[in-house]
Structure 1
Amino acid sequence: MLLLGVRVLIKKDGEFQSQHISDNAYLKKKGIHCVIDQDKEARRRNKAY
């Protein structure tokens, strides 16, 4: 745990990186969203039928 906090303590205006899927650029590029967004999309598609 200490090693995770080193960057936050040493770097000026340091902060922890977001752990949310929707904030990850690589996953966005791959079209992967958080499960809540995926569920909303699936419900909208199924509602149309």
Structure 2
Amino acid sequence: MMAVHAIYEDGDVSFVFDTPCFRGPIQVLVIFPDEELDDESDSWAEDPF
């Protein structure tokens, strides 16, 4: 899996690409430091696996 991290800071978004371990899907992690996450109300927060 290859991980892509998008970090939002001071109005800018930066991307960090981790080295792929094997062929597979891309995992995306977006961090909004000024936002509170409400995992209970977001349908995407549930792990489908």
TM > 0.5 between the two?
no
* Higher RCO (C-alpha under 8 Å, 6+ residues apart): 2
In proportion to residue count, which structure has more helix? Answer: 1
Task: Point out the structure with max Rg over C-alpha.
Answer: 1
TM-score by length of structure 1 reads 0.19
TM-score by length of structure 2 reads 0.19
In proportion to residue count, which structure has more strand? Answer: 2
